[in-house]
Structure 1
Amino acid sequence: MDALSSAQNKLLPEMSVLLKKRYQILQTINQEQPIGRRTLSEFSGMTERDIRKETDLLREQQLIEMKSAGMVITRQGEEVLDSLKSFMQKLTGIADLADKLKKQLKISDVIVVPLDSDTAVTVKNQIGKEAARLLEMNFTGETKVAVTGGSTMAAIAKELKGEKAYPSLQFIAARGGLGEDVLHQANTIASAFAEKTGGSFKTLYLPDHLSEEAYAMMMKEPLIKEMMDLYEQTDLVVHGIGNAEELALRRQSTAEEVQMITEGGAVSEAFGYYFDAEGNVVYRIRSAGIQLEQVQKAPNIIAVAGGHSKAKAILSYFKNAPERTVLVTDEGAATEVLKLIENIGGN
């Protein structure tokens, strides 16, 4: 927090509390519009009475409109959000938090959004929005973008603006199917990215988890060889970070595999690799998707993960993540990661 914000906070602490509250309400309306008061109350954790009072004020200031389908933000409201973004990051300490995490993880940059996606459902969408803006900055020339699956990745697809066509973009599914909700699979997300941007996409219609015999056979197929060549040419990788046990269950891993993952002390998962708390690979599935060495060669990398429950996984993965990686996360995860680092340093 800068000197002015700190002095202001000491002189009028109630102003900071009120500003944070109204900013959060306006941000949630912007993210979830149209939205009713009851739903907004549930999302924000505030009472309906409090929500009614604050939204009436926002309406009087012409920052939101009341419509039959729910509340929506006005152009003026959007401008207020944009204008206050940097100030709110300083006021809440988010900017300092991001800077500390960037230095501790030794990576290119960290972007932190307020609150915790484990407890506030709209935060994941905000992570998606920040990652989408970051991704759009890389839409230049003939760019090949490899994307993984997951709900946070789906949030990025939702938040891409789609206001301009980029026909030279190519989105490549970095993984096969996990047997999960099809909307969260890499193939679907690559397709959604292409649809929003006017680019093309390449899919990998294979199970993410292959037997040794199937893997050896599939790697000889021309279509798989083509995908592996595309991974070598990738300009940008956008990926999530998973909790090891959760991903093992989603993959319907065998009892033997789960035992190896558990006994190996696996904490995180990315690209089919399971890492322990020190960042060592303890298990690797046979997958026709992008390989870790290909990720590490990519010129640009964006990692997305949020929620305090992902803290151990984030810290584990970033033990060996390329320095040019940018992490987009939330306050809950960032705070918990720094606590873990402090605890490790104190032991």
Structure 2
Amino acid sequence: MSQRLVPELTEKVRTRYRVLKRIELHQPVGRRTLAHVLGVSERVLRADVEVFKEQGLIEVGPLGMAITETGVDVLQALDPIMKTLDGRAEMELSLAERLGIARVVVVSGDSEQSEDVTRDVGQAAAHVLRTFLHPPCTVAVTGGSSLAMLAELMPQATTPQDVEVVPARGGLGERHELLANTIASQLAARLSGRYRMFHVPESLSRATAERLAQEPTIAEMIDRIRSANLVVHGIGDALTMATRRGLDEETVAHLALRGAVAEAFGYFFDAEGHIVHMMNTVGLKLEDLSGDKMVIGVAGGRAKGPAIEAVAHAYRMDALVTDEGAARAILKKGECTHGS
């Protein structure tokens, strides 16, 4: 009824929600930088910023604008309303039913088209992880850009927590900021908890992996990883990850021949969730995801749709955080399959 009475109200709410959300994601941020991020002029932005200041939603310091606790409360109150307005609430329900995942969070946009959407996915994943955290507990994390963003955007805990963060597997040679070890240390710092490093290569020969697993210090670390209460992991496109992990041409060709579409924890899956290849890694195994362990998947981008659906077939996930790009790809495929 409010839209009928004041039709421009909904669009104004959308606009100001988006501006306030970007301030939260990029804080502290100057007005010029924010205008560039939003693709608007500083003049257009000025009116919204003034309203936010008057309402106590932001504060302006030497380094730029930052959101206040009141601003965070306003965003959290508006989140379900915005999801309903743009259809994401219905999308989350449809995706949860299709994938058999109890909790699905879909952020607006497509990570492939905007880095800001990747930040949105990371922030949403951080919020979901906080709802699952019940200290004392151990959290195992994988590497990748989505998890790196989760660690960066996790709100800073003000008091020490009995939380230990560990890398789910070893990993050397990738970009330092995307390594599971780096993410574990950063996330632990944000949670005011502890962390453990796991300095072993990700890809090993079977004999080497078996020997390493028998070393007392490594065996003790593996036990800690496998007994984690929560697992937060990224989901990769199979052939992209095969190249990134340095697999030889013969193995890559084998993956393509077997129809591999997804990778997680060093396992490669076809569209039905069947394992078509497994790397010799030291750390978390697929069988470790069973029991009362809480598993959270994080991935976005239209191209990740098939990979997300494949791993949902392969093992249980308690929560999935993704974006509209991936969600639409999965649901559109489902409509086509149902129609045929």
Counterpart of 2:219 (choices 222, 225, 238) is 225
> Where do residues 141-152 of structure 1 align in structure 2 (5 Å cutoff)?
141-152=135-146
Matched, 1:305 2:285: no
Match of 2:161 in 1: 166
The 4+ residue runs of structure 1 with deviation greater than 6 A are none
SS at match of 2:263: strand
Counterpart of 2:319 (choices 318, 321, 326) is 326
Letter in 2 for 1:329: T
* CA distance in structure 2 between the aligned counterparts of 1:342 and 1:185, rounded to whole angstroms: 37
Matched, 1:339 2:332: yes
* CA distance in structure 2 between the aligned counterparts of 1:252 and 1:310, rounded to whole angstroms: 20
Q: TM-score, normalised by structure 2?
A: 0.91
Match of 2:177 in 1: 183
Letter in 2 for 1:112: V
The RMSD of aligned alpha carbons is: 2.2
TM-aligned CA distance change 1:50 to 1:271, over 3 Å: same
Match of 1:261 in 2: 255
CA contact (8 A) 2:172 2:200 kept: no
Task: Using the TM superposition, give the Cα deviation of residue 106 of structure 1 relative to its aligned residue in structure 2, in angstroms.
Answer: 0.8
SS at match of 2:74: helix
Task: Using the TM superposition, give the Cα deviation of residue 130 of structure 1 relative to its aligned residue in structure 2, in angstroms.
Answer: 2.3
Higher mean C-alpha deviation, range 177-186 or range 239-248? 177-186
TM-aligned CA distance change 1:88 to 1:157, over 3 Å: same
TM-aligned CA distance change 1:321 to 1:9, over 3 Å: farther
Q: TM-score, normalised by structure 1?
A: 0.89
TM-aligned CA distance change 1:201 to 1:34, over 3 Å: closer
> Where do residues 1-347 of structure 1 align in structure 2 (5 Å cutoff)?
7-9=1-3, 12-160=6-154, 161-167=156-162, 169-322=163-316, 324-347=317-340
Higher mean C-alpha deviation, range 27-36 or range 51-60? 51-60
TM-aligned CA distance change 1:214 to 1:339, over 3 Å: same
Q: Which runs of 5+ in 2 are unaligned?
A: none
Q: Which runs of 5+ in 1 are unaligned?
A: 1-6
Higher mean C-alpha deviation, range 195-204 or range 332-341? 195-204
* CA distance in structure 2 between the aligned counterparts of 1:329 and 1:43, rounded to whole angstroms: 21
**Over residues 198-217 of structure 1, what are the superposed CA-to-partner deviations in whole Å (9 max), with x where a residue is unaligned?**
33222221111002332232
* CA distance in structure 2 between the aligned counterparts of 1:51 and 1:212, rounded to whole angstroms: 58
Higher mean C-alpha deviation, range 82-91 or range 43-52? 43-52
* CA distance in structure 2 between the aligned counterparts of 1:22 and 1:30, rounded to whole angstroms: 12
Match of 1:4 in 2: none
TM-aligned CA distance change 1:111 to 1:263, over 3 Å: same
Higher mean C-alpha deviation, range 286-295 or range 208-217? 208-217
Task: Using the TM superposition, give the Cα deviation of residue 131 of structure 1 relative to its aligned residue in structure 2, in angstroms.
Answer: 2.0
**Over residues 258-278 of structure 1, what are the superposed CA-to-partner deviations in whole Å (9 max), with x where a residue is unaligned?**
111121111111000111112
CA contact (8 A) 1:43 1:120 kept: no
Task: Using the TM superposition, give the Cα deviation of residue 42 of structure 1 relative to its aligned residue in structure 2, in angstroms.
Answer: 3.5
Task: Using the TM superposition, give the Cα deviation of residue 75 of structure 1 relative to its aligned residue in structure 2, in angstroms.
Answer: 4.0
Match of 1:3 in 2: none
* CA distance in structure 2 between the aligned counterparts of 1:162 and 1:257, rounded to whole angstroms: 44
Task: Using the TM superposition, give the Cα deviation of residue 298 of structure 1 relative to its aligned residue in structure 2, in angstroms.
Answer: 4.8
* CA distance in structure 1 between the aligned counterparts of 2:331 and 2:79, rounded to whole angstroms: 23
SS at match of 1:238: strand
CA contact (8 A) 1:264 1:276 kept: yes
**Over residues 88-137 of structure 1, what are the superposed CA-to-partner deviations in whole Å (9 max), with x where a residue is unaligned?**
22222221111111111111110122222222322222222222222223
Report sequence identity in percent. Answer: 39
SS at match of 2:165: strand
TM-aligned CA distance change 1:146 to 1:78, over 3 Å: closer
* CA distance in structure 1 between the aligned counterparts of 2:137 and 2:123, rounded to whole angstroms: 20
Task: Using the TM superposition, give the Cα deviation of residue 155 of structure 1 relative to its aligned residue in structure 2, in angstroms.
Answer: 1.6
Task: Using the TM superposition, give the Cα deviation of residue 36 of structure 1 relative to its aligned residue in structure 2, in angstroms.
Answer: 2.8
Task: Using the TM superposition, give the Cα deviation of residue 87 of structure 1 relative to its aligned residue in structure 2, in angstroms.
Answer: 1.6
Task: Using the TM superposition, give the Cα deviation of residue 10 of structure 1 relative to its aligned residue in structure 2, in angstroms.
Answer: 5.5
* CA distance in structure 1 between the aligned counterparts of 2:64 and 2:193, rounded to whole angstroms: 34
